[in-house]
Amino acid sequence: MVESKHALQATDCDDSSPGAVTLTSLPDELLLEIVDCLPRVSVLINRNMPYDEDDLTRREIISALSQTCQKGVQWKKRLATDLVRQLDFAIHNPSIAEHVESLSIIVTDDLYASVTDKLCAGLAMFKNLHTLQIPKVTGPNFIFTDAEWLPWAIQMQQPLLSVRTMAMPWQLFALLHCTPNLERLHIVDWTPRPWGPRTYHRLASKVLRQVPYLKELTSTDLLLDASWICDWYAIEAPSLEHLTVQVYDSSSEPTPSQHYLEQSILDIVWELHWLRTLKIVAGRPNDDDTFWKESQLNLIEPLRRMIPKRNVEPLEPSSEAEHPMAMVRGPPSTSLSLTFVYPSGAEETIGIEGY
């Protein structure tokens, strides 16, 4: 509450003009009432709480309100300065830093008050940090200029061994380099790269090798071709137990191919020996619930027959030797919870037992 109040008061408005009404002219009690009406940012605690883009409404509304001021740009500088103050306090008080378990930040290409250095130093002090959220990247120049500072800066720090859950956009995949014990990864937001999505996903998926203990991967903000998921992400993250993706068929637009979709899903399950839940969010080119319902029903029997066959197949020698989870995991999963989220928003889950 105090932080929200500070954000609203940090607009540095110029209300010198006659009759001007700005945020800073409002009483504190009214400012607090405004903030109370805004949604709070949730914390990723478990896989039942995926990061919701709607949580960003709070920040966007405050930002929009600040534009009623003639010097709204000062709002960002004030917030950055306050962030540095809080980080400084944590850095110089280790007894406080050890209690920080969750951190949520929004990255921008506006660099004020050496936030970069302080953020990296703060992360190094948060020895019990288990959740790191970077729900959004703002700024039109972030991807195409040298402002992509965060991954390189953090990679210079010691590994963040305590982090188990992360929510971040694709363009910060380099952060996985310093979170080797990561178990849950939620991909949020999307800003285009200067090259095609096929090339980018092929390259980005390679970074998953940095997190061999990854159990859960969620990506619903960007459509992924069904075959890409198998060829790249499933193979690069073989320890996955829970996978949520939004898929589409790029090979047969505008006419969708059920066979292509179903075969790709079978390939995903074949590669992921420990997969327990698979959630498919319907994408284009077909917005008819019937198409996706039929695909789900068509998959039941093939999956029942395939799971036992997959489990008797040994892992690839190279993968087994490099994959530390192969030494500590139990037997592969013998069942699968398959959920389809239809274009209408309705969900249907089917439990599949191998035989």
Judged by DSSP in three states, 163 sits in: coil
Residue-level pLDDT at 303? 95
92 pLDDT band, cuts 50/70/90, is confident
Q: In this model, does residue 149 exceed pLDDT 60?
A: no
- Residue 288 lies in domain: 190-312+331-354
Residue 45 lies in a domain: no
Entry pTM: 0.74
Domain boundary (143, 162, 181) is at: 162
Same domain for 135 and 98: yes
Q: In this model, does residue 268 exceed pLDDT 70?
A: yes
129 pLDDT band, cuts 50/70/90, is very high
Same domain for 350 and 240: yes
Same domain for 157 and 195: no
Domain boundary (162, 180, 201) is at: 162
Domain boundary (145, 162, 179) is at: 162
345 φψ region: left (φ > 0), alpha (ψ -120 to 50), beta (else): left
Same domain for 139 and 284: no
- CA 46-332-220 angle, 5° bins: 40
Residue 170 lies in a domain: no
Same domain for 306 and 212: yes
Q: In this model, does residue 118 exceed pLDDT 70?
A: yes
* DSSP symbols for 66-99: HTTSTTTHHHHHHHHHHHHHHHHHHHT-HHHHTT
Q: What is the pLDDT of residues 34-60, one digit of tens each?
A: 766 766 655 554 444 444 555 566 666
* Cα 129 to Cα 34: distance, rounded to the nearest angstrom: 31
Q: In this model, does residue 349 exceed pLDDT 90?
A: yes
Residue 319 lies in a domain: no
Which residue in the block uniquely carries the two structure tokens 């892992």? 315
Residue 41, CB half-sphere, CA atoms under 13 Å: how many? 18
In angstroms, what is the C-alpha Rg of the chain? 23
Residue-level pLDDT at 350? 94
Residue 150 has which token pair?
């965060």
Most confident of 58-67, 176-185, 328-337: 176-185
Residue-level pLDDT at 26? 66
Residue-level pLDDT at 77? 64
What ranges make up the beta strands (E) of the chain? 102-104, 131-133, 165-168, 184-187, 216-225, 242-248, 277-282, 335-341, 347-353
Residue 1 has which token pair?
């509450």
Q: Which DSSP category does 195 fall into?
A: S
Residue 177 lies in a domain: no
Same domain for 110 and 69: yes
Same domain for 142 and 227: no
Same domain for 144 and 203: no
What is the arithmetic mean of pLDDT over 61-76? 58
Q: What is the pLDDT of residues 300-345, one digit of tens each?
A: 999 999 999 888 876 654 444 455 555 456 788 999 999 999 888 8
**247 φ/ψ angles, rounded to the nearest 5 degrees:** -120, 160
Residue 250 lies in a domain: yes
Count of domains observed in the chain? 2
Same domain for 269 and 154: no
What is the arithmetic mean of pLDDT over 131-157? 57
Same domain for 347 and 220: yes
Residue 218 lies in a domain: yes
176's CB contacts (< 8 A; 6+ apart) are 166, 182, 185, 207, 208, 210, 211
Residue 9 lies in a domain: no
Residue 307 lies in a domain: yes
